[in-house]
Structure 1
Amino acid sequence: MADTAALENAKKILTLRRSPASQLADAFQTGSIRGAVELREVPFLTMAGIRVDPSGDAGKRLGALTGGLPASSGEVRGRGETAALWLGPAEFLLVAPAEAHEDLGGELPGALVEALGGGAGQVVDLSANRTTLELSGPKARAVLEKGCSLDLHPRVFATGTALSTEIGGIPAVLWKTADQTYRILPRASFAEFLGRWLLDAMREYASTEVP
């Protein structure tokens, strides 16, 4: 009976909540140029901020749970659809599917706190702190290069790399998840501005004259 009530509550949450860039859903669809560059929001991913010494006992327990903690700048480690992104020598951002969140029947945030135990460190649920914009296609890199100072050449910014940067003047984590696919993680309050900036940067590729 309790499980049924929890499931019903989760369904209500799903119908009531709105993602930070939900108002741009139609604009993302119409502004995407098939075969060149496409933009969408990947809403409600489970995110957790982790501060821990990865070489300590607590860090090893958390690493065993998540599939490993990154050891260097730009590195991403994980297991399945769960990934840990390096933000600093003892700071990481864990990203997992929406259903991993305990409010929707998942167990990840609670499991992280349990793995930390009494060790020195911190685990904070950041699921509502950021959203995820996904930019993909042959022109995705060119769009980002209009407002990102990172060297995005594949020799430098390889698939599986994630770095904190600015895009269009907005702080965000940029994560290359595939050869022509990037996930951009801005704070929720900047999602609409960055979404509109990306749409504007994409606009030139709607012209059939662009090779």
Structure 2
Amino acid sequence: MHNLTAITALGSSVPSVDTVDGATLCENAELALASVHARIGHETACRAALADLLDGRVPDVGKVILRDPEAAFWTGPDQWMVGAPYETHEDLDAQLKARFGASASITEQSDAWACFDLQGAKMERVMELLCPINIRAMQTGDVQRTSLHHLGCFVIRRDPSDWVRILGPRASAGSLHHAIVTAMRSTV
């Protein structure tokens, strides 16, 4: 039998935490993710299943539904990303497949994305250095797809107002982390 050890996107056994004068970056290794894509002809049933999961709401363009334990955000027409705590949703894709049935194609995404939570009074200044979005105009529950250090990323404005979640390609987690920490140091 194999003796495997789980590692984070940055290759460690514990998530990375970096604090630089008014900003803290935490690698979040506890997020299960799955994409939901409505199948042609089943869009209404897919939306109904998603609304049932999210207390009657479906994320609209540029929006995220922040619900405990699940959250979901819009990624494209009739497409969403659903997230939940990994500890209780390790099999999130299977849970969603059972709920959505033939109305949607569900794909496990946990190992495709690295998740970083950036918090602190200087969060907006850091984000302004990193990507071309108007972070100051974003409200809690807004999400934008953007280029961050030449990587396609999602930026989610969380609550409280000094907190954003950044999802970027796991294969480039080291580059993404380096870019964020460099921007944090540049605001000192």
TM range (shorter): 0.7 to 0.9
Counterpart residue identity of residue 117, structure 2: E
Q: How many residues align?
A: 182
Counterpart residue identity of residue 138, structure 2: F
1:132 aligns with 2:115: yes
1:172 aligns with 2:153: yes
10, 33, 38: which one aligns with 1:21: 10
| Distance in 2 (alpha carbons) for counterparts of 1:166 and 1:24 | 28
| Distance in 2 (alpha carbons) for counterparts of 1:81 and 1:130 | 19
| Distance in 2 (alpha carbons) for counterparts of 1:83 and 1:26 | 21
Q: How far has the Cα of 1:26 moved from its partner?
A: 8.7
Counterpart residue identity of residue 94, structure 1: V
Q: Helix, strand or coil for the counterpart of 2:53? A: helix
| Distance in 1 (alpha carbons) for counterparts of 2:181 and 2:46 | 42
Deviations 1:37-89 (A, max 9, x none): 1111011411000011785123202320244321x221112531311111112
1:61 to 1:137, Cα distance in 2 relative to 1, 3 A: same
170, 177, 181: which one aligns with 1:188: 170
**Seq. identity, %:** 23
93, 96, 112: which one aligns with 1:112: 96
| Distance in 2 (alpha carbons) for counterparts of 1:99 and 1:28 | 20
Counterpart residue identity of residue 46, structure 1: A
| Distance in 2 (alpha carbons) for counterparts of 1:117 and 1:87 | 20
| Distance in 1 (alpha carbons) for counterparts of 2:63 and 2:84 | 16
| Distance in 2 (alpha carbons) for counterparts of 1:126 and 1:180 | 26
Q: Who is 1:151 aligned against?
A: 134
81, 89, 98: which one aligns with 2:69: 81
Structure 1 runs (4+) deviating above 6 angstroms are 24-27
Contact 1:132-1:185 at 8 Å conserved across structures:
yes
Q: How far has the Cα of 1:118 moved from its partner?
A: 2.4
| Distance in 2 (alpha carbons) for counterparts of 1:56 and 1:130 | 28
TM-score after normalising by structure 1? 0.77
Is the radius of gyration larger for structure 1 or structure 2? 1
Give RMSD over aligned pairs: 2.4
| Distance in 2 (alpha carbons) for counterparts of 1:144 and 1:199 | 11
Q: How far has the Cα of 1:131 moved from its partner?
A: 1.8
Contact 1:28-1:199 at 8 Å conserved across structures:
no
Higher helix share: 1
40, 43, 58: which one aligns with 2:26: 40
1:91 aligns with 2:74: no
| Distance in 1 (alpha carbons) for counterparts of 2:116 and 2:67 | 21
Deviations 1:102-132 (A, max 9, x none): 45xxxx322210122122x311111111121
Contact 1:44-1:131 at 8 Å conserved across structures:
no
Counterpart residue identity of residue 100, structure 1: T
TM-score after normalising by structure 2? 0.86
